[in-house]
Amino acid sequence: MPDPIALKKKRAGLPVQHPPRIVYIGILLSALSLAAGFLTGIAALAVNNGYPSIIPLANGITFHPDLMVFGAVGGLLISEKLELMEKFPLIRKIPISRPIVAFLFGGVFILSLGILSSYAVARYAGLLLVVAASLLFLLFMSSNVNHGDKRIKLVFAAAIASMSLAAIGNMNSLLYSDVKLTFLALLFPILYILAERMELGFVRGMGARIMALQAYIAWFAVGMAFVSVEVPDKFISRFAMVLSIILVAILTGISIKFDPAFRKIKRNGRFQHFMRAGIQISFFWLLLGLILFMLQAIIGHGYLDPATHSIAIGFIGSFIVAHSPVIFPLTFKKKAIQENVTFLPLIMITIANVSRVFGDLAIPYTSLGETFSYVSGYLLLFAILLFVYNIKKIMVSPD
């Protein structure tokens, strides 16, 4: 259905705004990475839990986390800034957005092929491209083109640095098998989202000292996470990871304290309730994920998958769903009626993650755990379809 505002502007002879083509490319490549990561993840999940695989190569698939963290999540977070990046020339008239998109998704593709084929040179080349993309993204986020408080920009910088360091750490290990490396990779979206919530906290009266403290904590947490990956001494490595988790938990607590979603403010309207519920649910999953990562670091077995999915699906997924009625219409420059939003995708992604996280935790005790873990993939697929339906519903004006 045509955008009524665009038609009105066209008839009046006014310029109609459209997002740059690179924005569509970034969203499309993020969606493709999400689809590939989702299919390979379900295939690997089927093999691990004794179900028939939908992909014959499932036994050799180990790049599912790379597709999801670097490709899908990283691509979506970067795509939100692509339009502004078009105004930042890197070399002459070439905007910085072009090499960032090319390096990130090209790197993820080459990395995946390198892991699948066991061709080390391709794997390293892909990871170096991801590092280059993250460094360019860091250059843009720290520039004056990207407006904002310097302390908030430092937290964004720490998030992007963790993405680069995770790619470097991935040269010697794989995300799917190394708990410390997985946590380091997840720090990118965790800190990035917390930095975005800092912007709201700043508007709501967060003090300058607290903001500066968060910047120091964010960088220290990234440093400790990288030390845990690279230092061979087991005691120092484990201590560094535990310290990093504690620091992220402190950041989370500060964010919750100042986040308007956790304040006792009377809010009217379906959309406000939807956003508030989504943010509260996402922080619940983040705190649970941090607890599970702590147990994995201390006890050392059985908590990696539930910890990872608690954060990757529960925190990041719920947060994206909660903000989608705002982010996607702005990104695509479409008129939106946010009150048309439905709670269905938020409810379904929560059900899917409950099935996955608690199914994984129950596997040592009952065979039903494997069933719930496997079924969670299809519940998540249904949640994604409801998510797309929700976006379409709010971006179409009623007759």
**DSSP classification of residue 93:** T
Q: What distances in angstroms separate CA 109 from CA 65, 66, 106, 127, 165, one per listed residue?
A: 13, 10, 5, 10, 19
pLDDT exceeds 70 at position 223: yes
The pLDDT score that the predictor gives to residue 220 is 97
Whole-number percent of the chain with pLDDT over 90: 57
Q: Residue for token digits 């997840």?
A: 186
Element (DSSP H or E) covering residue 95: strand 94-95
The pLDDT score that the predictor gives to residue 56 is 64
| Cβ neighbours of residue 221 closer than 8 Å, sequence gap 6 or more | 158, 187, 191, 244, 247, 248, 251
Q: Helix or strand or coil: residue 313? A: helix
Q: Cα–Cα distance between 163 and 266 in angstroms, integer?
A: 38
Q: What is the mean pLDDT of the chain?
A: 87
Residue 15, sorted as left (phi over 0), alpha (psi -120 to 50) or beta, turns out to be beta
pLDDT per residue as tens digits for the range 161-185: 999 999 999 988 888 778 999 999 9
pTM of full prediction above 0.85: yes
Q: What is the dihedral sign for C-alpha 75, 76, 80, 83? A: positive
Q: What distances in angstroms separate CA 107 from CA 28, 123, 131, 240, 242, one per listed residue?
A: 16, 9, 9, 29, 30
pLDDT per residue as tens digits for the range 337-349: 888 889 999 999 9
Q: Residue for token digits 């390096």?
A: 103
CB 370 within 8 A of CB 363: yes
